[in-house]
Structure 1
Amino acid sequence: MLQINFLTEQEMYKQICQSLVNKRLALNILQKELAVKAGISVQTLVKFEAGDEVRVLTLFKIMRALGEFSRLNALVIEEVESPKTIHESKQHSKPGRKRARKK
């Protein structure tokens, strides 16, 4: 198993390309069939499978057509708190200042 932290962006891209080629072959789908299903040209798919860079949207179309789109869930669903929300929550969690009582 590869440690993706040690891969360059180009190496990671090639790994993704190869993984999706392997998926297509495992499903016994022809390039022409996948291109039609993904709504892209066969030429674009051939370039992608050869490791040439394609647009991110094209990659998403290929992933969806192969049933691999759900792998992106972690990136899409993860909720990131905005700086404003973090600041407001810290303001509410601090105990308020109290005045000294007169004796």
Structure 2
Amino acid sequence: MPKCGFFVSATVMLLVSVSAQADVLSIATPTYTTPNSAAGVLRPTQGMTMQQVEQRFGAPSQRLNAIGEPPITRWHYPDFDVFFEHSQVIHAVVPRQQ
């Protein structure tokens, strides 16, 4: 019986040591930039209507016609572009500087 107890405790210790290992991910110093971060340009959020966007940010400098099905419309502002599906915002993006 003593051999059986040894194997059980060795197996338990092995399982504990394997499950205790983990990878560490550090985001304190990322190596990439996020030009569309919330800390950057204030822009419309998903779900806003065209009317709400225009009330809050003013008239766009350019309105592109709807394309496709469902219709996707793009409005261009000096600092960002807004994409609508029907009349609701699906994305608002800051163009990358080239």
Q: TM-score range by the shorter chain?
A: under 0.3
Q: Which has the higher helix share?
A: 1
State the TM-score, normalized to the length of structure 2.
Answer: 0.27
Higher strand share: 2
What TM-score do you get using the length of structure 1 for normalisation? 0.26
